[in-house]
Structure 1
């Protein structure tokens, strides 16, 4: 997991942070999706997550696992909003999080999916 050092630092027990993972794709092969989800859950627990319920894995075919497929940043933003915006009124949304951590504008190895997450989070 690329973000292991960050996760370990932010889940240190004395900080009393609540950390969640939202994964938009668990792999291209449907036969391995459950295995990859379980691997993510186990890794997250080892790295400090308090509960397996703090990991959400989507299996949405609109998020193809590919280094060359760009995800719709509007759709990424919509998914993030549904997950982390507690209520929306006409003036300001009420967020259910303090910090959102994602990839930067270059992704890992220029991975288009990662870059799409960055742009969706900005949107």
Structure 2
């Protein structure tokens, strides 16, 4: 299984990669929404994309909207992984097409729980 991690924080990209690779998930990473979209275009759909909200250039919300405009990507699960904790942010992300919402800070159990909720890993 392949995952795309999109976050402007190198620490978060490395942390997510370490947590996912333990579970046998192969990861690609990008530092912003535009680079994340480029990964999807070059390497095809991923099983799941973990996307931060606040990034320079293209935000995570804009990336989610762009991904959901392509019917070929309908099967790709999207989890927003962000510090944005207000209900209006959560509603906007889910309305744009995110499948789940994980708030930072998080731990391995919280991440795996969200991935189970979207059907990416088994319970």
TM-score greater than 0.5 by the shorter chain: no
**What is the TM-score with the length of structure 2 in the denominator?**
0.38
Larger Rg: 1 or 2? 1
The structure richer in strand per residue is 2
**What is the TM-score with the length of structure 1 in the denominator?**
0.38
